[in-house]
Structure 1
Amino acid sequence: GGREEPYPGEERLLVPSPKVATYDLQPAMSAGGVTDALIQAIESGRFDFIVANYANPDMVGHTGVWDATVRAVETVDACLGRVVSALDAIDARDAGAPGSLLVVTADHGNADEMLDAHGAPVTAHSLNPVPIVAVGRAVTGRRLHDGVLADVAPTILELAGLEPWSGMTGKSLLEPCPP
């Protein structure tokens, strides 16, 4: 966090957010542009690892506007569907390859808790557990158990067949599925 300088071998593409007073006015934000760029990067075959950020549920959630936040989440859902379709198309070309991996998670919630116990809007990050979803051939026969944010990187490394670095404090969330 807080590092602006790219690491060696890293490429960054920033898709600008719309210039609006508040994001409830444009809950789709730039998700379509993020998805287009992501699919182009996937289809290029140039990258072994890609990180993308869909800010919609967080940024629109901060407005406290229920309907707009629902539209933001629906937008990201549709965009992730497009990403999965692009990954599936690539995987279909070589059924013997390890295949792609999609991991969806976040470092905090926001859109998941829009109203407090009295029905008033909540505009702050929630303290609820954040799900992690992994999709791909490497996940077959395994499931993810609960953990903490520090466990995300070791989990992704294990799914990619790589060893975690010695300084990592987290552990893989993977476990075999019960028979």
Structure 2
Amino acid sequence: MTLGELVARHQIVISAGSGGVGKTTVAASLALWGALEGRRAVVLTIDPARRLASSLGLESLGSGERDIPAEHFGAQGLTPKGTLAAMMLDQKGAWDALVERHAPPEARDRILTNRFYQHLSQSFAGSYEYMAIEQLCALAESGRYDLIVVDTPPTRHALDCGSCAPTSRRAGPRCAP
């Protein structure tokens, strides 16, 4: 399968591997390729090194979805047929969004201000990986993007795409690790 076919056939593409092999550059390039070909693409970095912004030629990148304006591409002689957005995983913000989505309204404030929850949402072992899956599934279920490219940190267990299944049946089979 060529990279073009990969970008055309999958909703979720995961860039994973050892450190220093160019995962972030590949992730940014695949998302850009998708946008150039007419896809509504987003690239999400879950790598704490946070190099995605520079790979996209941006000064900085936050936890919210940031649309990359067409003028940014025009300066490079590129004319995308689709759109490109980028974002970083915000572990605490993702936990808070999960609580907002699923907790009963009368319990939300109590949960969000609970000291145990505060600790869990920021430093519990495995929490970062869990929230990466949660963020990926939320993006897949949102319908805003038809291509989601994930830039992972240099680890074997950074993202297990099969974990999407309980939250989103649509996401699991469309993954391209």
TM-score (norm 1): 0.33
Structure 1 or 2: more helix by fraction: 2
Structure 1 or 2: more strand by fraction: 2
Determine which structure has greater relative contact order: mean sequence separation of CA pairs < 8 Å that are 6+ residues apart, divided by chain length. Answer: 2
Which one has a bigger Cα radius of gyration?
Answer: 1
